[in-house]
């Protein structure tokens, strides 16, 4: 068992920056969560099959001295299907922040910064199949070097107006350039003294593909200045006129800047009402899907916390009964939601080594995003059965538990341009089942109890289908939506005796999805709508941790406080739960 503890401690303390030493080539899914320096040659190296995410706040850098070809991220020439998502910073002061070698093939989504101080932020010498930039790409020679036989088939870009620093491409123009527009003052600008033919379009329009985490463009009537710069003419640019939603657009010469072109939107009022536009309705459904993911996350947190942590009652007196009452506060960060609950747990000791019990968790208050309202139908409830090898709980322990809850759900689909507001009522049901095996032993002269554990959990969250109501011409009907997952968990729980009446508790672990399937959000009622992917960027391996303490004013009484943190399957979502409760043994 000490060997198991040693293995767990080594596993949990491995530094993420060990991958950024130029000697490791990534060929699978990986999230970089700690800043690192690639040294004199290169930092992170991607090959076929690499799917790398650089987390927010993380820097992958290269500190090669001048005269040495320093590159922070390298795509190998053998790569045919690499993908890089950057929320942090890729930086080199010498040559290139990101280098796609001749023969390499990669998809890049940049939410952060890619910087090559002396030369290019990105040096593309092969194919970047799709490049989406909603952050910044900068370099001394230009943002992107794309010369020779290099190509960028699709380039979606937001960088420009807010920073007064457009993306500069030196070399070949992208095959297809899609400007991203968030507002009249926040939109993409492209400076491209390059060669070749380029198709111009509005990101989110017909012919473009939405990228996970990047919403479709939102436009208004007016003139967007200098969206193209250093284009002498538009002879080699197609798509200079078109339509987007309720607007016609055209590229027109800037009145005061030579070789610059503005994007002009003009509202087109339909002669007769023909119903909401497909584009605007699709964007409104996409926005609702993102908010619904927050509702699903909230249900998942409640059942996970109930089964894996403190909803237990193991303090007994002469009659073998245990009762615990308390309050709970839970926060989710993406989208921001929180709820307050009252909790009661009861237990009964059937034998010295066997106990069972149940719990009820009733929401007192739930605050969610404006488009999703969740209220009680039935409280969260469940039962548990625990067998211990010994009456003092040392040795092996086996626990099985379940949790069940029903919630009423009201969705409000927002109006976007010509789309309609739609309100609908449905219900969401959550079921969770857990089996946990652990082994408890003492160290430090029996003042510390260590309990490594392994568990298996199955969870199903189902939202019933429904149809929007109200005075709208084209109500949408939504199909039922299910999230099903089987998760393996390993970790360690600790109980440290500080004084005769005060104990400190904690746990650390990791959970991994053995299987996880989520239905698409499917809406009908407006011709041409497509299903929205409900499981973009699933995070299949996630940390969990808790810390707490309890005070025992008497041998049959306990006052406890616990704090629990968990990452959730949907990308970039975390949760925190605080739980305070009083337990008495009878």
Query: Does residue 13 have a pLDDT over 60?
Result: no
State the average pLDDT over residues 248-267.
95
Check whether residue 416 and residue 515 sit in a common domain: yes
Tell me the C-alpha distance between 22 and 306, whole Å.
44
Question: Residue 66 burial by CB count (10 A; 0-12/13-18/19+): exposed, middle or buried?
Answer: exposed
Residue 371 lies in a domain: yes
State the average pLDDT over residues 200-222.
94
- Quickly state the pLDDT bin for 496 (edges 50, 70, 90): very high
Least confidently predicted of 312-321, 336-345, 489-498? 336-345
Residue 145 lies in a domain: yes
- Domain end among 186, 214, 242: 214
* pLDDT confidence of residue 271: 58
Element housing 217 (H / E): none
Tell me the C-alpha distance between 378 and 299, whole Å.
13
Task: Name the percent of the chain lying above pLDDT 70.
Answer: 90
Determine the 3-state secondary structure of 287 from DSSP: helix
The secondary structure of residue 538, as a DSSP letter, is B
* pLDDT confidence of residue 412: 85
Residue 181 lies in a domain: yes
Check whether residue 203 and residue 298 sit in a common domain: no
- Domain end among 214, 233, 260: 214
Tell me the C-alpha distance between 423 and 372, whole Å.
10
Residue 48 lies in a domain: yes
Residue 260 lies in a domain: no
Dihedral over alpha carbons 534, 477, 336, 512 (to 10 degrees) = -30
What's the structural domain count of the chain? 2
Question: Residue 555 burial by CB count (10 A; 0-12/13-18/19+): exposed, middle or buried?
Answer: exposed
Tell me the β-bridge partners of 142: 120
Tell me the C-alpha distance between 199 and 218, whole Å.
20
* pLDDT confidence of residue 68: 60
State how far the alpha carbon of 170 is from the alpha carbons of 99, 121, 141, 180, 191, in Å: 15, 11, 8, 21, 9
Query: Does residue 7 have a pLDDT over 50?
Result: no
Question: 87 and 334 in contact (C-beta within 8 Å)?
Answer: no
Q: b or e along 324-351 (b: 16 or more beta carbons within 10 Å of the residue's beta carbon)?
A: bebebebbbebbebbbebebbbbbbbee
Check whether residue 286 and residue 175 sit in a common domain: no
* pLDDT confidence of residue 4: 32
Provide the residue count of the chain: 586
State the average pLDDT over residues 245-263.
95
Determine the 3-state secondary structure of 290 from DSSP: helix
Q: Assign residue 462 the CATH number of its domain.
A: 2.40.128.130
* pLDDT confidence of residue 561: 94
* pLDDT confidence of residue 279: 86
| Rg value, the chain, Cα | 28
Element housing 116 (H / E): strand 113-116
Question: 137 and 156 in contact (C-beta within 8 Å)?
Answer: no
The pair phi, psi for residue 152, each rounded to 5°, is -125, 95
- Quickly state the pLDDT bin for 15 (edges 50, 70, 90): very low
Check whether residue 363 and residue 485 sit in a common domain: yes
Query: Does residue 130 have a pLDDT over 80?
Result: yes
Place of tokens 């033919």: 197
State how far the alpha carbon of 433 is from the alpha carbons of 154, 320, 337, 400, 484, in Å: 45, 26, 25, 8, 12
Query: Does residue 380 have a pLDDT over 80?
Result: yes
Question: 259 and 253 in contact (C-beta within 8 Å)?
Answer: no
Question: 193 and 217 in contact (C-beta within 8 Å)?
Answer: no
| Residue 174 or residue 45, greater confidence | 174
Give 153-215 as a 3 state SS string: CEEEECCECCCCCCEEEEEECCCEEEECEEECCEEECEECCCECCEEEEECCCCCCCCCCCCC
Residue 326 lies in a domain: yes
Residue 229 lies in a domain: no
DSSP 453-491: EEEEEEEEEEEPPEE-BSS-SS--EE--EEEEEEEEEEE
Question: Residue 37 burial by CB count (10 A; 0-12/13-18/19+): exposed, middle or buried?
Answer: middle
- Is the sign of the CA dihedral 4, 7, 13, 16 positive or negative? negative
* pLDDT confidence of residue 387: 96
Q: What is the pTM for the complete model shown?
A: 0.55
**pLDDT tens string 392-450:** 999 999 999 998 988 888 888 877 777 888 888 999 998 999 999 999 999 988 899 99
Check whether residue 317 and residue 200 sit in a common domain: no
Check whether residue 188 and residue 310 sit in a common domain: no
* Full residue range of the structural domain in which residue 29 is found: 21-214
Which tokens is 137 given?
A: 């790409």
**pLDDT tens string 295-326:** 777 777 777 765 665 688 999 999 999 999 99
393: left (phi over 0), alpha (psi -120 to 50) or beta: left
State the average pLDDT over residues 174-193.
95
Check whether residue 429 and residue 567 sit in a common domain: yes
Least confidently predicted of 299-308, 368-377, 473-482, 491-500? 299-308
Check whether residue 282 and residue 174 sit in a common domain: no
* pLDDT confidence of residue 348: 97
Check whether residue 50 and residue 164 sit in a common domain: yes
Tell me the C-alpha distance between 487 and 485, whole Å.
6
Residue 396 lies in a domain: yes
Query: Does residue 93 have a pLDDT over 90?
Result: no
Query: Does residue 385 have a pLDDT over 50?
Result: yes
Check whether residue 186 and residue 327 sit in a common domain: no
Closest of 482, 476, 366 to residue 414, by C-alpha: 476
Mean pLDDT across the chain: 86
The secondary structure of residue 3, as a DSSP letter, is H
Closest of 126, 139, 140, 182 to residue 157, by C-alpha: 182
Closest of 574, 575, 572 to residue 213, by C-alpha: 572
Closest of 282, 284, 289 to residue 526, by C-alpha: 282
- Domain end among 164, 196, 214: 214
Question: 523 and 542 in contact (C-beta within 8 Å)?
Answer: no
Check whether residue 444 and residue 528 sit in a common domain: yes
Check whether residue 80 and residue 197 sit in a common domain: yes
State the average pLDDT over residues 525-549.
84
How many Cβ atoms sit within 10 Å of the Cβ of residue 319? 10
Instruction: Give yes or no for a cis peptide into 335 (omega within 30° of 0).
Output: yes
**pLDDT tens string 18-39:** 456 555 678 788 878 777 776 6
Tell me the C-alpha distance between 216 and 232, whole Å.
29
State the average pLDDT over residues 226-240.
95
- Is the sign of the CA dihedral 452, 391, 356, 559 positive or negative? negative
**pLDDT tens string 104-114:** 899 999 999 99
Query: Does residue 17 have a pLDDT over 60?
Result: no
């Amino acid at each position: 068992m000490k060997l198991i503890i040693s293995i767990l401690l080594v596993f949990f303390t491995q530094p993420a920056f060990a991958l950024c030493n130029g000697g490791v080539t990534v060929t699978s899914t990986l999230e970089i969560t700690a800043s690192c320096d690639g040294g004199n040659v290169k930092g992170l190296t991607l090959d076929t099959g690499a799917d790398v995410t650089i987390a927010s706040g993380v820097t992958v850098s290269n500190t090669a001295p001048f005269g040495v070809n320093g590159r922070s991220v390298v795509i190998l020439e053998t790569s045919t299907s690499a993908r890089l998502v950057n929320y942090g910073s890729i930086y080199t002061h010498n040559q290139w922040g990101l280098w796609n070698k001749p023969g390499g093939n990669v998809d890049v989504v940049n939410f952060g910064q890619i910087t090559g101080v002396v030369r290019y932020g990105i040096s593309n010498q092969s194919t970047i199949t799709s490049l989406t930039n909603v952050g910044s790409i900068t370099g001394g020679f230009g943002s992107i070097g794309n010369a020779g036989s290099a190509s960028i088939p699709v380039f979606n870009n937001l960088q420009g107006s807010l920073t007064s620093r457009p993306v500069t491409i030196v070399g070949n123009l992208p095959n297809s350039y899609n400007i991203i527009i968030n507002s009249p003052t926040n939109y993409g600008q492209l400076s491209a003294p390059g060669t070749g033919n380029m198709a111009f379009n509005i990101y989110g329009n017909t012919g473009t593909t939405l990228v996970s985490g990047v919403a479709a463009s939102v436009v208004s009537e007016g003139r967007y200045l200098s969206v193209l710069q250093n284009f002498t003419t538009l002879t080699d640019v197609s798509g200079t006129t078109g339509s987007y939603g309720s607007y016609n657009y055209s590229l027109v010469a800037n009145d005061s800047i030579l070789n610059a072109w503005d994007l002009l939107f003009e509202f087109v009022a339909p002669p007769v009402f023909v119903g909401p536009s497909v584009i605007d309705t699709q964007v409104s459904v996409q926005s609702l899907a993102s908010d619904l993911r927050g509702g699903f996350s909230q249900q998942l947190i409640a059942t996970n916390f109930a089964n894996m942590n403190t909803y237990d009652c193991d303090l007994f007196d002469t009659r073998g009964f245990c009762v615990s009452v308390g309050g709970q506060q839970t926060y989710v960060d993406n989208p921001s939601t929180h709820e307050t609950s009252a909790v009661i747990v009861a237990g009964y000791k059937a034998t010295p080594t066997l106990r069972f019990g149940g719990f009820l968790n009733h929401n007192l208050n739930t605050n969610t995003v404006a488009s999703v309202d969740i209220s009680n139908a039935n409280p969260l409830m469940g039962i548990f059965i625990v067998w211990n090898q010994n009456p003092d709980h040392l040795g092996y322990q086996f626990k099985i538990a379940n949790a069940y809850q029903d919630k009423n759900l009201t969705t409000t689909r927002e109006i976007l341009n010509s789309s309609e507001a739609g309100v609908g009522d449905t219900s969401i049901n959550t079921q969770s089942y857990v089996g946990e095996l652990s082994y408890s032993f003492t160290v430090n002269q029996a003042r510390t109890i260590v309990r490594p554990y392994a568990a298996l959990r199955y969870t199903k969250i189902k939202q019933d289908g429904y149809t929007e109501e109200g005075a709208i011409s084209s109500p949408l009907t939504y199909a039922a939506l299910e999230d099903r997952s089987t998760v393996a968990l390993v970790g360690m729980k600790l109980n440290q005796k500080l004084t005769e009446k005060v104990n400190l508790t904690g746990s650390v672990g990791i959970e991994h999805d053995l299987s996880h399937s989520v239905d698409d959000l499917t809406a009908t009622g407006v011709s041409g709508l497509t299903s929205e992917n409900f499981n973009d960027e699933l995070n299949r391996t996630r940390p969990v941790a808790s810390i707490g303490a309890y005070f025992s004013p008497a041998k049959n009484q306990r006052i406890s406080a616990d704090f629990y943190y968990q990452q959730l399957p949907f990308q970039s979502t975390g949760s925190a739960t605080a739980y305070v409760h009083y337990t008495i043994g009878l």
